[in-house]
């Protein structure tokens, strides 16, 4: 498949394993240059080494996207290494499997910081760079549980917020030449 992204720069958050790593592999197969982010240095470095051995150009940034400075620095790392940024894949997420009545305010904030605000932070940091790109694109990895019932309430609410933010940001960003989409995979 030719997605027309050869030599384009893609930042993939949550790229150490799972969906994020598989997305990074697919982008590498298309010839994209990659900035991988994640919190766990060992697994993120291994992912970067795997993709580099496969021929990809890779920058690895270890950081926590729930922190604004870290999210900003991840975008800066991509731009510093490759001279720009074309694609952002927001894949960070996680949940707390606690019954609704037992979920503390701190747990709610943790889930929203991880599963929603991380995407807001990275997208905001990347926005001007994406506007300068000829193919600026943000893809937010949400969840089927953002549209359906079945997961923990806090996670579902955060992923529903992601879907809503994506749809509304798409309208605003279109005028600047940036596409915004959300993808809502089922349980994996």
Catalytic residues: 155
Are residues 43 and 19 in contact, defined by beta-carbon separation less than 8 angstroms?
Answer: no
3-class SS of residue 168: helix
Are residues 33 and 57 in contact, defined by beta-carbon separation less than 8 angstroms?
Answer: yes
Q: Tell me the three-class secondary structure of 57-122, residue by residue.
A: CEEEEECCCCCHHHHHHHHHHHHHHHCCCCEEEECCCCCCCCCHHHCCHHHHHHHHHHHHHHHHHH
Q: What are phi and psi of 17, to 5 degrees?
A: -165, 180
State the DSSP H helix or E strand holding residue 44, giving kind and residue range, or none if neither.
Answer: helix 41-53
3-class SS of residue 171: helix
């Amino acid at each position: 498949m030719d997605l027309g992204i050869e030599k384009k720069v893609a930042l993939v958050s949550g790229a150490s394993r799972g969906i994020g790593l598989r997305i990074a592999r697919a982008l590498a197969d298309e010839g994209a240059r990659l900035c991988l982010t994640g919190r766990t240095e060992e697994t993120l470095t291994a992912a970067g080494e795997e993709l580099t051995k496969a021929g990809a150009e890779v920058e690895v940034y270890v950081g926590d996207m729930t922190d604004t400075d870290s999210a900003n620095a991840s975008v800066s790392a991509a731009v510093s290494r490759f001279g720009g940024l074309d694609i952002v894949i927001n894949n960070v997420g996680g949940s707390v499997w606690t019954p609704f009545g037992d979920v503390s305010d701190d747990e709610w904030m943790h889930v929203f910081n991880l599963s929603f605000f991380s995407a807001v932070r990275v997208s905001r940091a990347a926005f001007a760079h994406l506007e300068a790109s000829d193919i600026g694109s943000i893809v937010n990895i949400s969840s089927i549980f953002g549209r359906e019932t079945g997961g923990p309430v806090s996670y579902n609410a955060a992923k529903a917020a992601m879907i809503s933010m994506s749809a509304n940001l798409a309208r605003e960003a279109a005028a600047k030449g940036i596409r915004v989409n959300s993808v809502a995979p089922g349980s994996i």
